[in-house]
Every structure is written in structure tokens, then in C-alpha cells.
């Protein structure tokens, strides 16, 4: 399977629709030419096979492939109805799975809809988590992105500990309206050894994850090559994230509540509970 490139990926995004409830869908008549089916009859056969797969997997065909009708004007000026389908993400996935595997775009479609389906599964799983577990998940993501950001900063010329401290402070100052790491640490009432990222709720962590990931990407994309420019880039990204929160009427990061439990305490509790569960299983 070929590697999904940005152009083909965007082509699937371009024909995606959002309904009044916020759900995404694709129209079969728009998907057919993208998947290089010039004749509707041939594509309709693929849809029928996908419907069968849908039924066999226990899903409702009517939910995944709702039929819609459109009125069109022929070349002779006559009005007629044609059949179309309002396809869910899963329906599209089944269609590309049943398409002609010799076509590169079919392979690309399989990758695209598999990724989209996996993202939705992860999102559904995440939304079911309680606050402590959401914090654990996001904190884990931040650790990975912070490593990538540190590497990007190093490649941009941020070498010494002093330079890196200034670089980190710049990002926080942009996001927190001028507050430095020390200011945030003091405001949260943390001890010297406690880390501010370990004492953020899930919303504050998400804001910082966005800051970190976007700063890492911008440093690389802009080819930043000196410590001062890297620091300014991090500040601007933090400020833009703050502005986005303000535009949607969200709570500013400095006004978000500080959790009582740190990440380390939550991890210890969960490991302890896991040990108890294993012991119960052995006792049974």
C-alpha cells in the first residue's frame, strides 16, 4: 500500500460534508469519480458489496448507507430523480475495502478511512474516561511531544540549559498572558520538586499539548536556525493558542483549576489497584 500523501488525503477531506448535528458524511456520487469510477453502475456494485459487509458485521445498512434522491436536469431539459447515498465514515471504509485493489487511489482511500475510523474510536474511548485517566493520557502525549519539541529547538540552535529555559518560558508566557514557569509554579502553590504539567486538569493539558505540538511543527516548517528566533516562535504560538481559546469563549489557562492530586499520585493509585485485581484473580 502506498504512503498516503497530503494531496490525496486532502481530496477525501474536500468532499466531506458536516450535517446539522455535526456528524460527517460523504456523498456516493462525489466519492465515485474520486475513486476513479466513471460509470455509476460499476460503483453501485461496489456499494452493494459494501452494504452486504455492513450487514454481516452487525451494523444497520439504513444507518450507514441512507439513500437520498436528487433531481437533475438532463441535456434535453427534462427533470429526473437519481439515487445517491449519504455515507458514514464506516460505509466509506467498507466501500474502499470492496473497491478495485489495482487502483492506487483505492489503496490510499483504505488508509485514509482506516485512520479516520481509528481516530473516532480513540476519541470515543477518551470521552468515556474519567478526569484522572484523561489527565494520564494527555500527560503521556505531552511527554512525547516535549521530546520532539526539545529536538526541534536543539536543531534551531537552542543548545545550552539557559537557552532552553528561556525558550520554554517564552511558550508559557505566550499561552499564560505573560506568566513564566516560575509564576505558574508559584500560583499553583507547588513545592520545588512538583512539576506544573503534573498539576493541570485535562483542559489545561490539552491547551499546552496544542502549544507544544504546533511550536514543534512551526520550528521545522519555518526552518528556524537561531535561539532568539526559536524563542520568539514559541511565544507567538503560545499567544495564538491563547487567542483561539479567547475567541471561542473558553477559560484562560491561568483560570483553570489546579487538581489536588498530581500525576504521580494517580499513577501510584492505579498501579496499586491493578495489583489488587491481579491478586483477586489468583485467589479465584
Q: Is the pLDDT of residue 172 over 60?
A: yes
**DSSP per residue over 174-198, as a string?**
HHTTT--HHHHHHHTT--TT--GGG
Predicted pLDDT of residue 106:
86
Predicted confidence band of residue 4 (pLDDT cuts 50, 70, 90): very low
- State in Å, rounded, how far the first CA of the chain is from the last one: 47
Query: Does residue 195 or residue 284 have the better pLDDT?
Result: 195
Q: How far apart are CA 217 and CA 197, in angstroms?
A: 21
Predicted pLDDT of residue 2:
38
**What are the CA-CA distances from residue 12 to residues 116, 190, 227 (Å)?**
11, 47, 39
pLDDT above 90 as % of the chain: 63
Predicted pLDDT of residue 34:
93
Query: Does residue 9 or residue 36 have the better pLDDT?
Result: 36
H-type alpha helices, the chain: 6-14, 28-34, 40-56, 61-64, 89-97, 104-127, 131-155, 161-175, 181-187, 202-221, 227-247, 263-283
Q: Is the pLDDT of residue 234 over 90?
A: yes
Q: In whole numbers, what is the pLDDT of the chain averaged over residues? A: 88
Kindly state the cell numbers that stand for 128: 468515556
pLDDT above 70 as % of the chain: 90
Residue 173's Cβ-count burial label (10 Å; 0-12, 13-18, 19+) is buried
Predicted pLDDT of residue 230:
97
pLDDT digits (tens, 9 = 90+) for 241-255: 999 999 999 999 999
Q: How far apart are CA 158 and CA 169, in angstroms?
A: 13
Amino acid at each position: 500500500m502506498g504512503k498516503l500523501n497530503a494531496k490525496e488525503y486532502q481530496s477525501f477531506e474536500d468532499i466531506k460534508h458536516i450535517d446539522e448535528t455535526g456528524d460527517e458524511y460523504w456523498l456516493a456520487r462525489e466519492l465515485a469519480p474520486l475513486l476513479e469510477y466513471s460509470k455509476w453502475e460499476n460503483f453501485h456494485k461496489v456499494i452493494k458489496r459494501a452494504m452486504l459487509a455492513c450487514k454481516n458485521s452487525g451494523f444497520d445498512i439504513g444507518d450507514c448507507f441512507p439513500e437520498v434522491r436528487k433531481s437533475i436536469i438532463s441535456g434535453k431539459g427534462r427533470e429526473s430523480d437519481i439515487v445517491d447515498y449519504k455515507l458514514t465514515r464506516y460505509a466509506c471504509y467498507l466501500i474502499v475495502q470492496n473497491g478495485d485493489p489495482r487502483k492506487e487511489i483505492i489503496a490510499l482511500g483504505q488508509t485514509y478511512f482506516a485512520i479516520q475510523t481509528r481516530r473516532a474510536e480513540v476519541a470515543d474511548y477518551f470521552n468515556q474516561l474519567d478526569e484522572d485517566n484523561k489527565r494520564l493520557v494527555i500527560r503521556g502525549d505531552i511527554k512525547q511531544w516535549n521530546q520532539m519539541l526539545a529536538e526541534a529547538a536543539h536543531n534551531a540552535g537552542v543548545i545550552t540549559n539557559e537557552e532552553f529555559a528561556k525558550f520554554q518560558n517564552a511558550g508559557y508566557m505566550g499561552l499564560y498572558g505573560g506568566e513564566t514557569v516560575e509564576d505558574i509554579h508559584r500560583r499553583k502553590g507547588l513545592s520545588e520538586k512538583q512539576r506544573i504539567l503534573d498539576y493541570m486538569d485535562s483542559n489545561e493539558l490539552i491547551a499546552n499539548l496544542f502549544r507544544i505540538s504546533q511550536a514543534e511543527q512551526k520550528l521545522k516548517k519555518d526552518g528556524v536556525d537561531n535561539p532568539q528566533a526559536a524563542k520568539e516562535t514559541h511565544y507567538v504560538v503560545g499567544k495564538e493558542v491563547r487567542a483561539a481559546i479567547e475567541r471561542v469563549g473558553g477559560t484562560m489557562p491561568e483560570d483553570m483549576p489546579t487538581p489536588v492530586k498530581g500525576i504521580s499520585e494517580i499513577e501510584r493509585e492505579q498501579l496499586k489497584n491493578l495489583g489488587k485485581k491481579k491478586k483477586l484473580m489468583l485467589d479465584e
